[in-house]
Amino acid sequence: MAPLYTFTPGSTPLLINVPHCGTGLPDALRARLTPAALALPDTDWHVEKLYDFAPALGAGLMAATQSRYVVDLNRDPEGKPLYPGADNTELCPSRTFGNDAIYLDGSTVSAPEMAERRRLYWQPYHDRLTAELAAIKARHGYAMLLDAHSIPSVVPRFFEGRLPDLNLGTNEGRSCAPDLADAAYRALQRDAAFSHVHNGRFKGGFITRHFGQPHSGLHALQLELAEVSYMDEARPNPYDPARAAPLITVLRGLVQALLAWRPA
């Protein structure tokens, strides 16, 4: 089986995790997917590239290699919805963000197959993430996790209108210390060219909510980027270095703000 992630260790309390940038598909699964799904439209395109600078600052960087259509690493393993009452995607999604069928026969993933994918893909990834955060906390006395994501700026299935460029989520303030959230949000406000919101449509997925235990010295934040802020959203979703450069400056400021923070 192909490696489930790439990992660059850090020397600071910060780990950056990119769970939705993977594009890998097992051959048996690829053969079952619709043309719409084979384009992998719900990938968090190029997000790991945006944070290329982070290891040089001492942050660890972990990035998934497998597509979220194999298993969604940012969903509850028991299938609990992130946003009760809203349209939620599953641990093993059956429809794209654009509401196209993922499987040729229009099916959903059976419970036994979902359990197997969880065992083979979801659990090892989370075991590594858990172990690294525990090691960081043992070295520094606390750990910070920045869960890095992106999404098209317009997705009617999930939200009306255009998404702000920078969407910080801290599970309504429960996943990290308040002053850490404040420092992060201030960093995101430094370039007036980018719109921003804190705990708006995206408040943090399973990873942020599960690992964010500030009372135990584990602080987690999620940043969801509107893809239009750094790339062409039309297929084949090319990375735009000129468009991305101002955003990378903002992200560098965010990482520096997180690294400068110390728990009270």
| Model confidence pLDDT, tens digit, residues 243-258 | 999 999 999 999 999 9
pLDDT at res. 70: 98
User: Which amino acid is located at 46 in the chain?
Assistant: H
Q: pLDDT tens-digit profile of 184-196?
A: 999 999 999 999 9
Q: Of 50-54, 101-105, 232-236, which range is least confident?
A: 232-236
How far apart, in Å, are the Cα atoms of 172 and each of 80, 198, 202?
Answer: 18, 9, 10
Q: How confident is the model at residue 235 (pLDDT cuts 50, 70, 90)?
A: confident
Q: How far apart are CA 227 and CA 254, in angstroms?
A: 18
Token look-up 């010295």 returns 217
Length of the chain counted residue by residue:
264
Q: pLDDT tens-digit profile of 125-170?
A: 999 999 999 999 999 999 999 999 999 999 999 999 999 999 999 9
